[in-house]
Amino acid sequence: MRAVIQKAFGGPEVLEVVELDKPELRSGEVLVRVRASGVNPVDVAVRSGAFPLLGEPPYGVGWDISGVVEEAGPGARYEIGEEVFGMPFFPRAATGYAEYVATPSRQVARKPASLTHVEAAALPLAALTAWQGLVDRAGVREGDRVLIHRAAGGVGHLAVQIAKARGAYVIALASAAKHDFVRGLGADEVIDYRTTDFTEAVRDIDVVFDSVADGERSLSVLKPGGVLVSILEHPNQELAATVKAAGRRFAGVSVEPDYAALEAIAELVEAGKLRPTVAETLPLAEVSKAHEVVASGQTVGKVVLTVDPAR
């Protein structure tokens, strides 16, 4: 099968499309014929060495997949022919940019029927991060005031929709050119963080969803008892202590595979409350270009690789 690996840290040029053996199936696993693979900033940070989550290369790249079950091991949750999506093995290597991935069946869920594989591959890592932060950890409820940083990004654009689906009042931070997009996601207020100091514009916030390392300033707008959700790769222990001392809660999130959350996410999709935006779709052979796009930090929504069965 074709798969993307890296043998060294470096720029997009270290990504290589190579031929590997198809993974072997174990009990409880399904072999997924991948149709599309999502690209995330963490893939870029692992590739470059900025965030050496997997240690020293070589290893396979990528986590987000959507595809069709081609083989099912004993005891697996899905049957041959079912369409599934997920983020298997994170934070261990999954080699998700590949024609086949063997995954524990509990690390994927049935793909929402209303989404294409490209759209479904845009969801797992980003939507699970938003869900695990906003729902699992912060328990966002009807009427909560939720502030979302980086609201037009891969995680942020899903976080806005998930918070709205929970009945929250959502205040979104984004640059001016992206305000129409973010309002279209359902945000109640949109603030241009480049020209307006949000700490002067908002107060009495129940939950801040922080993906920009703005912890101290985010803390200043939280109500007593409010929650600072941080999805940064290196949650700051000092900040956590400061938040606690101020009578607020700190929730550092490191996303995990989670079929139950994926099912809840799929339900929101089917209910018309959640839809990923795919900014750009590229074939597997153009994986280096896909990384350049994501590394720009300016993506609106997600970048997805297609894995063409006909090559």
Residues in touch with ligand NAP (CB under 6 A): 40-42, 125-126, 129, 150, 152-156, 174-175, 178, 193, 211-212, 231, 233, 253-255, 294, 297-300
The residue (of 42 and 102) whose beta carbon lies closer to ligand NAP is 42
Q: Which residues contact 284 (CB under 8 A, 6 or more apart)?
A: 2, 4, 17, 37, 97, 305, 306, 307, 308
Q: How far is the CB of 85 from ligand NAP (least distance, A)?
A: 16
The residue (of 98 and 190) whose beta carbon lies closer to ligand NAP is 190
Of residues 154, 45, 31, the one with CA closest to residue 101: 31
Query: Using CB atoms, what's the residue nearest to ligand NAP?
Result: 153
Q: How far is the CB of 204 from ligand NAP (least distance, A)?
A: 22
Q: In which region does residue 290 sit, left (phi positive, over 0), alpha (psi from -120 to 50) or beta (all else)?
A: alpha
Q: How far is the CB of 299 from ligand NAP (least distance, A)?
A: 4
Concatenated DSSP letters of 231-248: --SS--HHHHHHHHHTT-
| Count of all residues that appear for the chain in the document | 311
The residue (of 102 and 135) whose beta carbon lies closer to ligand NAP is 135
Q: Which amino acid is present at 49?
A: G
Q: How far is the CB of 224 from ligand NAP (least distance, A)?
A: 26
Per DSSP bridges, beta strands 108-110 and 302-306 are: unpaired
The residue (of 71 and 233) whose beta carbon lies closer to ligand NAP is 233
Q: How far is the CB of 19 from ligand NAP (least distance, A)?
A: 30
Backbone angles phi, psi at 130, to 5 degrees: -65, -45
The residue (of 6 and 211) whose beta carbon lies closer to ligand NAP is 211
Angle between helix 41-48 and helix 287-295 axes, rounded to 10 deg: 100
